[in-house]
Amino acid sequence: MDDTTDRGQDSAPSRALAAFAAGLRYEDIPAPVLARAAELFLDWFGSALAGKGARPVESIARFMHAMGPADGPSEVLIDRRGSSPLVAATINAAASHFAEQDDVHNGSVFHPAAVVFPPALAIAQSSRRSGRELLTAAVAGYEVGIRVGEFLGRSHYRIFHTTGTAGTLAAAAATGRLLGLTPDQMQHAFGSAGTQSAGLWEFLKDGADSKQLHTAHAAGAGLAAACLAADGFTGARQILEGDRGMAAGMSDDADAARLTAGLGSRWALAETSFKFHASCRHTHPAADALLEAMRINRLQADDIEEVTAFVHQGAIDVLGPVVDPQTVHQAKFSMGTVLALAALRGRVGLAEFDADSRHPAIIAFRERVRMMLDREVDTAYPARWIGKVLVKTVDGRLLDARVDEPKGDPGNTLSRRELEAKAIALAAYRGGADEAEMRQVIRRVDALDQMPVVGRFLG
């Protein structure tokens, strides 16, 4: 390779992003961003415990435990066993993406926590890193993963599950920061992570288990890529923007400028939203808008004849194939079911899905819900997720409502009390941890910046 090519690769966006992730220091990160990172960790912790007992999660756990050691330094949250970092990261990543309550970044349409915290926690525990190092690694993972998701664009998300694709690089960045990779090694880690990135939306039609496999694979592949890079293993230097890189194969609207825009000044982690409803994020704006319409007009579910949810194209792409949900998890991707639960039960939580997603009244209301592409909503997406609904009442009125920031967005975020209550409820959902144990976890998370060595959080 000639010197000109070398110089071109050294100035590439992939290189700049790798250098940022490798060089990020705790002292570089604003205090509010670090505080937000700790809150996102707590939110993820609850989501991971909520995956306990879920059939797809337990299947992945059985497989990984069979492949791994009988014990190890890294904590598997759902069964409180110790194992290797790879096993723990893979299982925890699968578990944290099941309850549909893990965080989301709007602009990248990406769930960072499910692929960043599992490898970061596993490596921090196995390498005896401090709480500050864990937080720094998490920020690096969020900043990289979000920018890769934004870079790949809307066309990517139509076919690919961005959390599975961009997630491999996010996991590699977090792991690589804990391992102390050089910028060159981090760039190689990105290359190895990107060539393994995967995740297709086709599974939605069948209600298949692939969504948990996507996060499990992304976390494990990213962790492996960083560990291999530390051992001298090389990867493509321009895996993102190269002629045969991710954008070339996975996008037709990629914008390389998004990879490095605002590095070190714009903290994308702080833009991440908490999920309030236990369903696909694409349903949340409409659910909030319907609840608002019912509140301001003092409607009951029996007053409603029909609901039209005005949505962006991404919602149609993801939710449209789910026309007759047969499982609880499929129901979380059904706009009709989500709006029915909101109208009839007043909330869209884990218990409501488990108890009522196939209830005749829910199914009847579901059939009176339709989605319609809306230019304003679609143009604003993905930077903003606007919710708009039109409600036709049984007495012939047409009532509309909108929300400009769904519950959980940074401008409409969860209060500290709501965040803690959510984490405790998620942990209790399938017996992952009781309230006393979670109160102790909360105290430990609040003191992460003072923790000299990250140990186990449960048991």
Residues 6+ apart with CB under 8 A from 438: 46, 423, 424, 427, 428
Can you tell me the distance from the alpha carbon of 359 to that of 365, in angstroms, rounded to the nearest whole number? 10
325: left (phi over 0), alpha (psi -120 to 50) or beta: beta
- Could you state, in order of their start, the residue ranges of all structural domains in the chain? 3-271, 281-407
Nearest to 116 by CA among 183, 191, 21: 21
CA 50 vs. chain centroid, Å, equals 15
Residues 6+ apart with CB under 8 A from 372: 308, 309, 310, 311
CATH class for the domain made up of 3-271: mainly alpha
pLDDT score of 3:
42
- DSSP lists the bridge partners of residue 391 as 307, 399
Give residue-wise pLDDT tens across range 350-366.
999 999 999 999 999 99
pLDDT score of 10:
58
Within the chain, which residues score under 50 in pLDDT?
1-8
Give residue-wise pLDDT tens across range 130-173.
999 999 999 999 999 999 999 999 999 999 999 999 999 999 99
Q: Do 275 and 101 contact (CB within 8 A), yes or no?
A: yes
The CATH number of 281-407, from 3.10.20.30, 3.30.1330.120, 3.40.50.720, 3.40.50.12780, is: 3.30.1330.120
Residues 6+ apart with CB under 8 A from 283: 277, 315, 319, 332, 333, 334, 335, 338, 339, 348
**Both tokens of residue 64?**
């990984």
Give residue-wise pLDDT tens across range 107-137.
999 999 999 999 999 999 999 999 999 999 9
Note whether 3-271 and 281-407 share their fold.
Answer: no
Can you tell me the distance from the alpha carbon of 15 to that of 21, in angstroms, rounded to the nearest whole number? 10
Residue pointed to by tokens 């490898």: 119
Give residue-wise pLDDT tens across range 258-296.
999 999 999 999 999 999 999 999 999 999 999 999 999
Q: Which helix (H) or strand (E) holds 399?
A: strand 398-403
Number of Cβ within 10 Å of residue 257's Cβ equals: 9
The pTM for the full model equals: 0.95
Number of Cβ within 10 Å of residue 339's Cβ equals: 29
200: left (phi over 0), alpha (psi -120 to 50) or beta: beta
